[in-house]
């Protein structure tokens, strides 16, 4: 997905939920990896230019709005669910790669 996202523009910014937000959304046993580790993992991928951690939907909305994001790339599982920031930039839905989510990995 990151390779595809990078191919759609010159500079790829990846937004990730803060540890607190993940815990609030997914429960007390999450996140599995800390926000620092997740950020470092992503920055090690050659397609990623920048990683921004956000704590709320409003922060993500502002990230898209104030930084002139030209397109939002998300997994197709978000199609029809109201993508945050989509009023400021068009959305490209990337086809889901089966069983490659943290939730699926932890279930196995």
CATH number, position 68: 3.40.50.620
Confidence (pLDDT) at 21: 95
pLDDT band, very low/low/confident/very high, at 16 (cuts 50, 70, 90): very high
Confidence (pLDDT) at 68: 86
Provide the 10 A C-beta neighbour count for residue 67: 13
Provide the number of structural domains found in the chain. Answer: 1
pLDDT band, very low/low/confident/very high, at 103 (cuts 50, 70, 90): low
> Could you read off the pLDDT of 21-54 as tens digits, one per residue?
999 999 998 999 999 999 999 999 999 999 999 9
Structural domain containing residue 45: 2-107
> Could you read off the pLDDT of 50-72 as tens digits, one per residue?
999 999 999 999 999 988 899 99
CA nearest to 39, candidates 55, 51, 30: 51
CA nearest to 34, candidates 17, 47, 59: 17
């Amino acid at each position: 997905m990151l390779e595809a996202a990078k191919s759609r523009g010159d500079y790829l910014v990846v937004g990730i939920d803060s540890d607190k937000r993940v815990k609030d959304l997914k429960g007390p046993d999450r996140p599995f990896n800390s926000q620092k580790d997740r950020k470092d993992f992503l920055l090690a991928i050659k397609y990623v230019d920048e990683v921004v951690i956000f704590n709320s939907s409003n922060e993500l909305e502002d990230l898209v709005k104030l930084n002139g994001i030209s397109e939002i790339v998300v997994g197709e599982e978000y199609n029809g669910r109201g993508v945050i920031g989509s009023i400021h930039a068009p959305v490209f839905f990337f086809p889901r790669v089966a069983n490659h989510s943290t939730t699926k990995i932890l279930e196995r």
